[in-house]
Amino acid sequence: MLLAIALAPFFVPTPSNGQSSAKRPPASRQASTALTPPRVISQDEPRLTPAVDSESGLHSLQPAPSVTVATPAPAAKPWTWQEEATWVANILLAIFGYVGIMMARSLLKKIERQTAFGEAAAEAATSTAHAALLNARSFILSERPWLLITVEPSRSAENTFTILATNRGRTPARITSTVEDAIIALDEKLLPSTPEYPREEPAASAVPIILVPGESTTIKSFCRDEVKALCDSEERFRRIGTWEEKLYLYGRVVYSDLISPSDDQVHETNWCCWYIHGRQNSGLVIAGPHEYNSHT
Q: Tens-of-pLDDT digits for all 296 residues of the chain?
A: 555 565 555 444 544 444 444 445 554 444 444 445 555 444 455 555 555 555 555 555 555 555 566 677 677 778 888 888 888 889 999 998 999 999 998 989 889 888 888 888 888 998 899 898 888 778 777 788 999 999 999 888 888 999 999 999 888 999 988 999 999 998 888 889 888 887 655 555 555 788 999 999 999 999 988 888 888 888 988 888 888 899 999 999 999 887 776 666 789 999 999 999 887 888 999 999 999 999 88
Which long-range CB contacts under 8 A does 232-241 form with residues at least 24 apart? Answer: 236/184, 240/184, 240/275, 240/277, 241/277, 241/278, 241/279
Q: What is the pLDDT of residue 65?
A: 59
Q: What is the pLDDT of residue 68?
A: 64
Q: What is the pLDDT of residue 55?
A: 55
Listed residue (185, 163, 214) closest to 289, CA to CA: 185
Q: What is the pLDDT of residue 20?
A: 44
Listed residue (296, 246, 251) closest to 275, CA to CA: 246
CA angle 39, 26, 8 (to 5 degrees): 45
Q: Whole-structure pTM over 0.85, yes or no?
A: no
Distances 119 to 106, 110, 112, 116, 128 between C-alpha atoms, Å: 20, 14, 10, 5, 14
Q: Which residue type is seen at 70?
A: A
User: 174: part of which helix (H) or strand (E)?
Assistant: strand 173-185
Region of residue 45 (phi > 0: left; psi between -120 and 50: alpha; otherwise: beta) = beta
Neighbouring-strand partners of residue 148? 166
Specify the DSSP class assigned to residue 41. Answer: P
